[in-house]
Structure 1
Amino acid sequence: MPCCPADPLRGIEPADAMIHRLMVGDLPRTTAYQEAINRNKHLFHGKTVMDVGAGTGILSLFAAAAGATKVYAVEASGTAQLVNKVAKQNGFDEVISVLNCKVEDVELPSGVRIDVMVSEWMGFYLFHESMLNSVLAARDRFLAEDGVMFPSEARLYACPCSLQGLYEEKITFWNNVFGFDMSAVGSSVLDATAKKPEVCVVKQDDLLAQPVCIKTIDLRWVETNEITKFSENTFVSITKRAPYHGLCLWFECDFNGLDYNENGDSIGELVTLSTSPFSAPTHWKQTVVTLGAAGTERSSIGPEDGLQTDHDIADDTIRTKSKFIEVEEDEVIGWRLEFEQSESNARHYTITLQMLDPEEDEHPEPCSCGMARCLIIAKLIENEMQAAAGTKCNPEPVVVEETAAN
């Protein structure tokens, strides 16, 4: 299907309008894009920009206001016709060209290359319902050799967490309902919760360890096979005694505009959008991969198994062989988290969670879990790096404190 200008007869559905209102009104999200573009106008002034998945056109407007010569706003839905109107209302109708089609169907004029590709492609836990595959396809077709991707880097984080408050609200409520024991309902809710990612706001105090980055994506160079299936073994030291209900996932995106001008002076800034529990809440919230109810064991959960979340991510599934457990301060725990893209829908993933034995299973190198062997390996690696850099003639001896975890 060839790409075409926006159809003025197509409108926006009320439900779609609500979604766009939610996203544009998400101040941490939209402000991050605005600041990233405004503080790095040297990347946009006089340049050709593509906005992949333009929605109602706010990112295209930011780019045009920053001095872009041409902005291609690519939007497959009926909102594309509104971008035309919005561009004209703001005096950018000669700058912003709206293409009402999938980005895979776009055909640019001969010889046109994109200097900056901007997109808000991220989904829950970065990957769910994300447009990343489409963005990478557009990058490979249209981005100039010295072109820039905004955001430039994305990182996925994981941290063990407690959901005591959430479970008390959703499950314990059923223990005594007007004097009746209805805990069977609570057990059913808990059972369903264990099957699907839980999208909710996780408080800082509910995190049980230092967060760990489990996946980094350089948007300029990442290949699609790197996001089709990936996994990571992780070990951490628990910071307080609490019930361990699952792994909290969130992401950060960097917009790196740091550069040097012709005089050798540094210009531009690094702007970061964070969806962590330490930052202002966003519509992405956080995603928790739950461990499962005590006494249950799950190994293969399919899309037909129901859903209990604040947001509909029913097509993403969890496979887990775990239980809710009580953890102690300084205890080392480990897990293996695997993400596998659906063959039928690249925007959906199956998440596989496996608990690891810190004593028996292999740790990554370096590992910051605090166990003695990991401290030794980390110090050896540090000494090797320093020696290679020529910063030390005599590497420091490896010393492990007696109080280190075994």
Structure 2
Amino acid sequence: MAGPRHIDQQRIVVRPSVWIRTTDEAIRNRSHWKKLERKIKDLGLNSVEYAAIYVEGGLRLATIHVPNLRGGLNFDHGFEFPDGNTLYAHVSMQPFNLSACGMVCLVTVKREDTILYQGMSRIGGVICCNDTTERGITSGHAMLYYFLQTNEQLSETTPENLGSDHSGFDSELSDEGGSDDEDDLVENHGSDGNIRECLGAFRVNEVDDWVPITPTGTIYFVDRATILAPNLVEVSSSSAEPIPRDFALVSSMDRWLGENSYLWHGTKRVIHHWFWDDELPKDRQRVLILFDAKQSPAPGFFIPSIIPLVIGGALFLTRKVCLDAPLSQGTSGSWVVDQETGGLCGSIIAVFDQEPYALMITSETLFLDIMRGSRGIVSIHLPRPKPDFLDEGIVIEPVDKGKAKVQEGHAYQPWLQTNLQLCAID
């Protein structure tokens, strides 16, 4: 601590600041963050012991809108929502012997022949449900974005208004909140023209071939949508409590099942295990964010601090990843792996405009959410590398069977996973 000496003072007063991170749009719409400001005042954090309250923008869900695309897309089979709109999902074509990790997933919502919405996410990878059934996994917010945007109660949970929790605040502002003139709006990177190139950016209009995929089970993000029949979706009641889960399972990806792998410095690495929260690093650890086979993974650092993220009243407990450059929107669902061991740490949910940070959901949270929210799924593990996929120099050894864990009634069996050691074979 440092500062001027005050002879008449008998105590040191420490005044912490309160910082709220939200979106640029929410800040410009002052009523959103002024509600947050009032809530802080209700908690007594605006007393003389505290410094100013700051609201900073730049936070966004990691999905992205894309131009209306029709070329190469098959709209023969979709899933109809109660409002009459139909959802379609596709992945970009890539060679069948490659891993599904990081594949581009395109979500389209149509009404008759009119495209209402198209958004992009990533397939994180493939998981095995109940030992045998393999499913691809991506973010739920990419699938449900249009529904949430048009739902009157949840319209403020869209990427433009991410981070605003309106469920607990009064709709009217107190006169004690002060006038708008008291609140300075500072643009960090509004007009300097120095736009940094984003990691993981992808031009969907350059893709010629798309493969239809099939959402299965229940899709979650704040709300939930359940696939009832081959072409029918049921959406939960809008009066239900917000759900802090973000995932969608997909099938019809048989061409890319078998293992989760990626290339790093020319060497194939297989994702052979995932971390429980108590196994995650306690300090900064090098990690990689995975994209498709045409894009190299993005290196960064895992930051262990828990970052609460509130979207539409649902509280997500996330972790931060620090990168060399900003992470592009359209990377939602991308897997984050430990750079040294290849273990799965989590899945991307949010990014920061022109800042080298991203927020992820941990692998434990993601997989337990799937088991709790999916009918009939009682165990999850990562697929074993199949012999015809193995590269020369890779030796597989079983994990110690003594590490079984039980959470929420679900037995975790790590011997269903494998550890990989890269060995030099003469």
Q: TM-score of the superposition, structure 1-length normalised? A: 0.23
Which protein has the larger Cα radius of gyration, Structure 1 or Structure 2?
1
Higher relative contact order (CA 8 A, sep 6+): 2
Higher helix share: 1
Q: TM-score of the superposition, structure 2-length normalised? A: 0.22
Higher strand share: 2
